[in-house]
Amino acid sequence: MSASSEHKSATSHDFGRKGRAVLRIAGRKTGENRWARAFYRGGSATFGSVRHVLRALWLEVTGFLFLVLAVIGAGATVREYHRYVGGSASRSKVALAAAFTLLFLYFGAESFLRARRRSKRS
pLDDT, tens digit, for every residue of 55-74?
999 999 999 999 999 999 99
Angle at alpha carbon of residue 37, lines to 34 and 41, rounded to 5° = 140
In a domain, 7, yes or no: no
Task: Tell which wins on pLDDT, 88 or 2.
Answer: 88
pLDDT at 118: 78
Q: How many residues belong to the chain?
A: 122
**Domain around 64:** 48-121
In a domain, 37, yes or no: no
In a domain, 95, yes or no: yes
Query: Mapped to the 3 state alphabet, what secondary structure does the chain carry?
Result: CHHHHHHHHHHHHHHHHHHHHHHHHHHHHHHHCHHHHHHHHHHHHHHHHHHHHHHHHHHHHHHHHHHHHHHHHHHHHHHHHHHHHHCCCCHHHHHHHHHHHHHHHHHHHHHHHHHHHHHHHC
pLDDT at 40: 82
In a domain, 24, yes or no: no
Q: What is the mean pLDDT of residues 45-59?
A: 92
In a domain, 39, yes or no: no
- 3-class state of residue 89 by DSSP: coil
Per the structure, the count of domains in the chain is 1
In a domain, 33, yes or no: no
pTM, two decimal places: 0.65
In a domain, 102, yes or no: yes
In a domain, 71, yes or no: yes
What average pLDDT does the structure give for the chain? 85
